[in-house]
Structure 1
Amino acid sequence: MLLAVVQKWHLIKLFTILNMLILAACSSAPPAQVADRDQPPTRKILIHTVAPNETLFSIAWRYGLDYRQLARHNGIGAPYTIYASQQLRLDISDASKRKPPPSIAKRSAAPKPPPETKTTSTAATRNANRAQSSAGRSENRTTSAQTSAPPSTIRGPISWQWPSRGNVIAGYSSSGGLNKGIDIGGKLGEPVVAAAGGHVVYAGSGLRGYGKLVIVKHNDTYLSAYAHNRALNVKEGQSVKAGQQIAELGSSGTDKEKLHFEIRRDGKPVNPLKYLPGR
């Protein structure tokens, strides 16, 4: 009899402990959801700090903006000169909703060269001051990233031509993919030519993922880009004609020898195959 009572007491104690554990588990907060690592949240960049050798055109190209809107938004007029360490506001779509913060607007303005010191000293001192001021302006030009405003050379419709003679190995992606143009296969050193006449507004390797890049401005609406070159045959500000060689095909910025070719209309990428002639 005593043994039955003890066993019954142990069973009651065991059930009591189990009930307490179940209630504690139910009252605890659910585990936090783990974010999808394959699709991290994107962060909108609002301010770009100009690096040496960048141009207004290359920055607009990088962010998919119209260079004219970017210039107006930051109070930059022709010839679109920008300076290293200058801060450019990129929130163009929000421009009509609010005015720029005074501190940002002030930093966006291009710094003025130091004024020439006025003095009533001797002519030798005045000449020294002028030489010092000129040297300061020269140094400022060296450390700044400048862009000229080349005139539009094409009037009316543009007659496009293929920038290289290889076959298309990767097409344009219209669904927000990484390929904003087409990839054309080829051999190392093959000529890359201008798809239409215009002016070179960027020639360098400052845009990550493009390697050695040339951007040509054809008119106020259209620009074209030629990426992954082995060597560049043109410089910024140079005029080029349709079919003129501007680079050598290469593999800079990629693991395969190819030409990456893009056309931008008002700053937005378009499918080059809709503009290039049929083969």
Structure 2
Amino acid sequence: MQQTGTILSSVAMSSVIQRPFHWVLTGSLVMSMVLAGCSTNTPAPITDIHSSTPSAPVPTVSGQSYTVQPGDTLFKIAQQHGTTVQAVANANGITDPSQLRVGQVLQINGGSSAVAVAPAPVTSPTTTPVETPATPPKTETTPASSVNTSSPRASDANVINWGWPANGPIIQGFTANTKGIDIEGAIGDPVVAAADGKVMYAGNGVRGLGNLILLGHTNGFITAYAHNDTLLVKTGQEIKKGEKIATLGQSDTTSPRLHFEIRRRGTPINPLSYLPSR
């Protein structure tokens, strides 16, 4: 069957939606994970809300403009300036989450919609934006019996207490294109948080991912949950592992499923190397 989905490519949970996760969250969260927004919903953030460090440069605010710093998201910038994500996006003509880059100058509080981009700093682990899930090419669903459901355990798998976001069989494995896995289910099945975190994005503004949630976690991790039927959380909400955040759906895909991604500092990683055995 045809595939869509992959959250947080280069929000987006660096990374919403190049893959079935069609990643706020980023090709396919929190994350090439790079898409034009659709509808009137808020575009997904592109960087992990926990990714900034004490050594990061102090944000530069000048009048009605703001220079994007490492670790920034649209949500974070809007909070700092007492406005909304949609207002910042509208003021700067942002329809693609990948437009947010370190060094970019944004107009705040209804300023000009022109966006000036300053020279980017030298690339380093703390200045690389997290790409959002990007729209993958449509592919046929692989029969569950032939999907590889095993992967070597990651060395940092125990940094976070992970859990499965849904109970169904895996119908699409992790590849460079999918950037996550697809879990089969019935419409209305529960979708739960894979770990403690904070909602970075909840909406359907990332094309190809349907109703999407991006959760930001500690240590630079983002998880993305796409194609949901109903979203049960809101941006900024604190979430516990196992808490129901959505119901499984078929939004922007050909059959009921959850597209799930884990991104570490913007890089898609195989969820099967982190999730517990089942």
TM-score after normalising by structure 1? 0.53
Alpha-carbon distance in structure 2 between the residues aligned to 1:164 and 1:75: 30
Note the alpha carbon deviations across 1:146-196, whole angstroms, 9 max, x for none: xxxxxxxxxx8101110000111001112xx2x110000011100000000
Alpha-carbon distance in structure 2 between the residues aligned to 1:87 and 1:79: 18
Q: Which residue of 1 aligns with 2:61?
A: none
Q: Give SS of 2:247's match.
A: strand
Matches within 5 A, 1:105-254: 105=105, 108-111=106-109, 157-174=159-176, 177=177, 179-254=178-253
Alpha-carbon distance in structure 1 between the residues aligned to 2:45 and 2:257: 24
Maintained 8 Å contact 1:205/1:212: yes
CA RMSD of aligned residues (A): 3.6
Instruction: Give the residue type in structure 2 aligned to 1:172.
Output: F
Matched length = 173
Alpha-carbon distance in structure 2 between the residues aligned to 1:188 and 1:77: 31
Unpaired runs of 5+ residues, structure 2, are 1-31, 57-66, 79-84, 112-157
| CA-CA distance at 1:221 after TM superposition | 0.1
| CA-CA distance at 1:266 after TM superposition | 0.7
Alpha-carbon distance in structure 2 between the residues aligned to 1:234 and 1:200: 7
Pair 1:112–1:210, CA change in 2 (3 A): closer
Pair 1:50–1:75, CA change in 2 (3 A): farther
Instruction: Give the residue type in structure 2 aligned to 1:158.
Output: I
Q: Which residue of 1 aligns with 2:42?
A: 54
Q: Which residue of 1 aligns with 2:18?
A: none
Pair 1:228–1:111, CA change in 2 (3 A): same
Alpha-carbon distance in structure 1 between the residues aligned to 2:228 and 2:217: 20
Matches within 5 A, 1:71-110: 71-72=68-69, 79-81=76-78, 82=85, 83-85=88-90, 86-87=92-93, 90=99, 105=105, 108-110=106-108
| CA-CA distance at 1:71 after TM superposition | 3.6
Maintained 8 Å contact 1:190/1:249: yes
Q: Give SS of 1:84's match.
A: helix
Alpha-carbon distance in structure 1 between the residues aligned to 2:252 and 2:72: 33
Instruction: Give the residue type in structure 2 aligned to 1:215.
Output: L
Alpha-carbon distance in structure 2 between the residues aligned to 1:196 and 1:112: 37
By percentage of residues, which structure has more helix? 1
Q: Give SS of 2:272's match.
A: helix
Maintained 8 Å contact 2:37/2:207: no
Alpha-carbon distance in structure 2 between the residues aligned to 1:237 and 1:258: 25
Maintained 8 Å contact 2:232/2:246: yes
When Rg is computed on C-alpha atoms for both structures, the one with the higher figure is 1
Q: Give SS of 2:222's match.
A: strand
TM-score after normalising by structure 2? 0.53
Instruction: Give the residue type in structure 2 aligned to 1:60.
Output: I
Instruction: Give the residue type in structure 2 aligned to 1:161.
Output: G
Instruction: Give the residue type in structure 1 aligned to 2:250.
Output: S
Alpha-carbon distance in structure 2 between the residues aligned to 1:214 and 1:246: 8
| CA-CA distance at 1:84 after TM superposition | 2.8
| CA-CA distance at 1:79 after TM superposition | 3.2
Q: Which residue of 2 aligns with 1:268?
A: 267
Higher relative contact order (CA 8 A, sep 6+): 2
Note the alpha carbon deviations across 1:20-60, whole angstroms, 9 max, x for none: xxxxxxxxxxxxxxxxxxxxxxxx9x9x89995435xx242
Q: Give SS of 1:200's match.
A: strand
Instruction: Give the residue type in structure 1 aligned to 2:163.
Output: Q
